[in-house]
């Protein structure tokens, strides 16, 4: 009967160590020690021997298993947290990529449509008085459409990962854009200043989008105004300034537009450590100033 009691004590010690909370484990250990001492007196055995051979091993083994289970539970909980974070990050990445694609599409399509609408309106007025200029006007519409098509193909290539490697974009893109805008009848000038050597393609592309959006807005809302563009290289940044005078006639696309273009550019620049400021100028026109980092974050 005494042997059975020792087995029961060992089992209880294991259970206390395995399942009891720290405070309860201490209380349970004291109770087990008291029970062990009672058996010691009953069996006339040396006190340390039963404690060492029964209560202590069972309690220690139970405690080690409890600690192991707690570590496993914490690791499993952390794994679930990491999985949730991964899913949240993936969803955020998808939303960010959708916003980036939408901004690219806006930049491409809005500019081309603005040019085509302005030229179509001019073509209607010229059709009866100057057939030669009318032909040039519709040629410009075709050129704007082809440019938009090429840009869309480039964007699709980027998304599909099939765009062939090519030359790094340079500021001639801005020159070509201004030349096309001038071909629509827009009174636009372009000036380069400062150090522009060694500009990364991403910096040039962002500067191009700033000029493109500004020219598009001038075509929409500032008919007859003069547009002045300055691209200036500084030590750490490429500064783009676009100013237009007050409109002298009704805009061809007055009331069109949601402001998403400038808002998207602000966000794009902000993500890379740049800044864009746009608003009315002192003379009643409009001014855009962007600071594009040479080495985007």
Torsion, Cα of 233, 211, 284, 193 (10° steps): 20
Torsion, Cα of 116, 120, 126, 132 (10° steps): 50
pLDDT in tens, 3-18: 555 566 666 666 666 6
Note the pLDDT of residue 256: 45
Token representation of residue 227: 């547009």
Note the pLDDT of residue 143: 72
Token representation of residue 171: 């500021």
Note the pLDDT of residue 19: 60
Q: Give the number of other CB atoms < 10 A from CB of residue 234.
A: 13
Note the pLDDT of residue 254: 47
How far is CA 125 from its chain centroid?
45
Within the chain, which residue ranges are assigned CATH 3.30.565.10? 169-297
Alpha carbon distances (Å) from 191 to 162, 188, 206, 230, 255: 35, 10, 17, 5, 30
Cβ-in-10-Å burial (0-12, 13-18, 19+) of 290 comes to buried
Note the pLDDT of residue 2: 46
What residues in the chain have per-residue pLDDT under 50?
1-2, 47, 252-257
Name the CATH code of domain 169-297 (choices 3.30.565.10, 3.30.300.20, 3.90.600.10, 3.40.50.10470): 3.30.565.10
Note the pLDDT of residue 213: 87
Q: What is the pTM of this model?
A: 0.55
């Amino acid at each position: 009967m005494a042997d059975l009691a020792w087995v029961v004590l060992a089992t209880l010690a294991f259970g206390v160590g395995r399942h009891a909370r720290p405070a309860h484990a201490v209380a349970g250990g004291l109770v087990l020690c008291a029970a062990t001492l009672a058996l010691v007196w009953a069996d006339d055995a040396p006190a340390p021997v039963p404690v060492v051979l029964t209560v202590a091993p069972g309690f220690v083994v139970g405690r080690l298993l409890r600690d192991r289970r707690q570590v496993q539970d914490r690791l499993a909980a952390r794994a679930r947290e990491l999985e949730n974070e991964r899913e949240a990050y993936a969803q955020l990445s998808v939303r960010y990529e959708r916003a980036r694609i939408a901004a690219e599409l806006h930049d491409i399509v809005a500019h081309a449509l603005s040019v085509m609408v302005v030229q179509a309106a001019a073509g209607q007025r010229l059709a009866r008085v100057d057939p030669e200029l009318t032909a040039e006007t519709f040629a410009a519409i075709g050129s704007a459409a082809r440019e938009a098509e090429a840009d869309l193909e480039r964007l699709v290539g980027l998304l599909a990962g099939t765009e062939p490697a090519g030359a790094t974009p340079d500021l001639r893109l801005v020159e070509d854009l201004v030349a096309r805008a001038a071909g629509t009848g827009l009174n636009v000038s372009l000036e380069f200043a400062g150090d522009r050597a060694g500009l990364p393609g991403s910096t040039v592309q962002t500067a191009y989008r700033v000029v493109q959006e500004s020219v598009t807005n001038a075509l929409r809302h500032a008919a007859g105004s003069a547009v002045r563009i300055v691209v200036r290289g500084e030590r750490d940044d490429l500064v783009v300034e676009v100013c237009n005078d007050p409109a002298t006639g009704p805009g061809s696309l007055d009331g069109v537009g949601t402001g998403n273009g400038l808002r998207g550019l602000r966000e794009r620049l902000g993500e890379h450590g740049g800044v864009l400021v746009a608003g009315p100028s002192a003379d009643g026109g409009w001014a855009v100033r962007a600071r594009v980092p040479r080495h985007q974050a």
